[in-house]
Structure 1
Amino acid sequence: MKTITIMLALAASLLHGLPHALAADTETARPLKIPANKACTEVSPEETTKLGLIQQMLAEGKPHAALAHLEAARIKNEQAELLRAHGLRQTGRALQAQVIYEQLVNSCVSGQAYRGLGLIASNAGHLRESLRYLKAASTALPTEHTIRNDHGYVLMQSGEPEPALHEFLTAVELAPGYRQAAHNLILLLYRQGDTARAEAFAKQFGIAADEMQQLQKMTPESNRASPESARSPL
């Protein structure tokens, strides 16, 4: 899901990041409303198949094709609109995507809609707003490992390493094969100077030596020596 371009090739497939890091904002905001178990519109088997293929296109980085197939399918329900918003966001049309996400936050796909809003906010560098949306997404979908990973990365970029650590650990325990969260966890440990623990997790997750070197280069100390952007698709 590529709303943010990168300059570091490895990070593109490993990390969830932001254009720039901002200081954490401790201002208390009103909690976002989470709808209670709303049922989605019933989808036919044929529509389910079409939506599954469109979702796969988005996962494979083919958002333009996904949007074209959505237009051809003419499916009108919450799941289709969510995929449309994802496609628009991935093709750089964040404002159009945001309108759809905002329409979906009180629907059966509220968790993913809040996640989409959080990713748009983070891409714009609005970390406090992003954290608020991602917290709501996590509340709606507490076992969704991708949301935990996104939330953890924004927390890390906001200067909140301890809650970020717990989000990454939750993500990797929920989905042990989810390497994106594993890389973010190792990056956080490197940034904290906990090299031994980072290497222990690398061994546990089977992280290659060259990947470890790239993650080490993304620590603040390395970035000062050789400035590089650590952005990635969200």
Structure 2
Amino acid sequence: MMVLLGVLALSGCAGQAPGSLAQMLGSGGCAKPDADQQLALNLADEMLNEGRPHASLAHLQELPDSLAQVRLRKAKVSRLLGRSEAEPLYHSLLGGCLAAEGEHGLGQLASARGDDVQALQNLQRAVRLAPTDEKVRNDLGVVLMSLGRHEQARFEFLTALELKDDNQLPAVNLVTLSLLQDNWQQAADLVARLRLKPQQFAEAQARAKQLQAIARAPVS
């Protein structure tokens, strides 16, 4: 299956701010960084937010890999940079205090290489571990949509939207799904109700067209 990461609104796309990493990392019984380590982690987050992933990774490389928080950030930055270290770093989180984030990252990697079946397995496990994480629910919906499981995808997008109603990704994905099903009236209603901008509607249209083209493409 063709790579869909650049087509669909996955929550962890390059160019998007890392969001609530601090909230994720504060739970689950992880060993707490000392004050200097926390300062370095915060600095790495700021650099990533500013679009400086290489500098962010450099600062993370000064910190011990024994901290799960460090491995998660390294994995995220490595994934955005296309580095092979991302996968083993995400694997190292499984079974620990950040297992949900590990499964989520592995699902994003699988989706990026076009392996939606593997991505589905990882993201379903991530949802079981962190059912209220709207980013995971959105990404599971994206993979379900690409697999043609539209009603299940709709459920995940609606869940993500209700968990955090200011998150525009599941809103745009809901419109994409309606257009994919050729339900223009529903798409228009969603745009009005969710107050999406014309640019966001155009993005949804483009994604729907690309998905339809992929679905019609002959299998080689």
Paired-residue identity, % = 30
- 8 Å Cα contact 1:187-1:218 kept in structure 2: yes
Q: Distance in 1 between matches of 2:99 and 2:39?
A: 22
Q: State the partner residue of 2:113.
A: 124
1:39 corresponds to 2:29: yes
- 1:96 aligns to what? 85
| Counterpart AA for 1:44 | D
CA contact (8 A) 2:146 2:211 kept: no
TM-score by length of 2: 0.79
Query: In the alignment, which residue of structure 2 is the partner of 1:175?
Result: 164
1:66 and 1:184, CA in 2 relative to 1: closer, same or farther beyond 3 A?
same
Residue aligned with 2:85, SS: helix
Contact 2:4/2:114 (<8 A) preserved: no
Residue aligning to 2:125: 136
Structure 1 runs not aligned, ≥5 long:
18-36, 228-234
State the distance in 2 between where 1:136 and 1:154 align: 14
Structure-2 separation of matches of 1:88 and 1:110 = 18
Structure 1: distance between partners of 2:140 and 2:64:
33
Decide which of 6, 23, 40 is 1:50's aligned counterpart: 40
TM-score, normalised on structure 1?
0.75
d(CA) in 1 for partners of 2:195 and 2:43?
A: 31
Q: How many residues align?
A: 197
- Structure 1 residues 144 and 57 mapped into 2: Cα distance closer, same or farther (>3 Å)? farther
Deviation at 1:200, TM superposition (A): 1.6
Q: Distance in 2 between matches of 1:190 and 1:203?
A: 15
Greater shift, 212-221 or 160-169, is seen at: 212-221
C-alpha deviation, 1:55, in angstroms? 2.8
Larger displacement relative to structure 2 (68-77 or 82-91): 68-77
1:105 and 1:114 in contact (8 A); partners too: yes
The answer to whether the Cα contact below 8 Å between 1:217 and 1:223 also exists between their aligned partners in 2 is no
Q: CA deviation at 1:122?
A: 0.9
Residue 148 of structure 2: aligned partner: 159
Q: Which has the higher contact order (CA 8 A, sep 6+)?
A: 1
Cα distance in 1, alignment partners of residues 199 and 110 from structure 2: 32
Tell which deviates more after alignment, 76-85 or 58-67: 58-67
Q: Identify which of 9, 33, 38 aligns with 1:15.
A: 9
Cα distance in structure 2, aligned partners of 1:208 and 1:218: 16
CA contact (8 A) 1:111 1:138 kept: yes
Q: Distance in 1 between matches of 2:202 and 2:29?
A: 46
The CA deviation string for residues 106-164 of structure 1, in whole angstroms up to 9 with x for no partner, is: 11000001011111111111111100000111111111111111110011001111110
Distance 1:105 1:97 in 2: 13
Check 1:60–1:188 CA distance in 2 against 1; reply closer, same or farther (3 A cut).
farther
Provide structure 2 residue ranges, at least 5 long, that are not aligned to the other structure.
12-26
**Structure 1 CA distance, aligned partners of 2:5 and 2:133?**
24
Question: What is the CA distance between 1:58 and its match in structure 2?
Answer: 3.2
Report the equivalent of 1:206: 195
Over residues 161-181 of structure 1, what are the superposed CA-to-partner deviations in whole Å (9 max), with x where a residue is unaligned?
111000000011011010111
Match of 1:84 among 74, 77, 82: 74
User: Are residues 220 and 109 of structure 1, via their aligned partners in 2, closer, same or farther at CA, if it must alter by over 3 Å?
Assistant: same
More divergent stretch after superposition (189-198 vs 215-224): 215-224
Matches of 2:96 and 2:140 in 1, distance apart? 21
Change (3 A) 1:188 1:222: closer
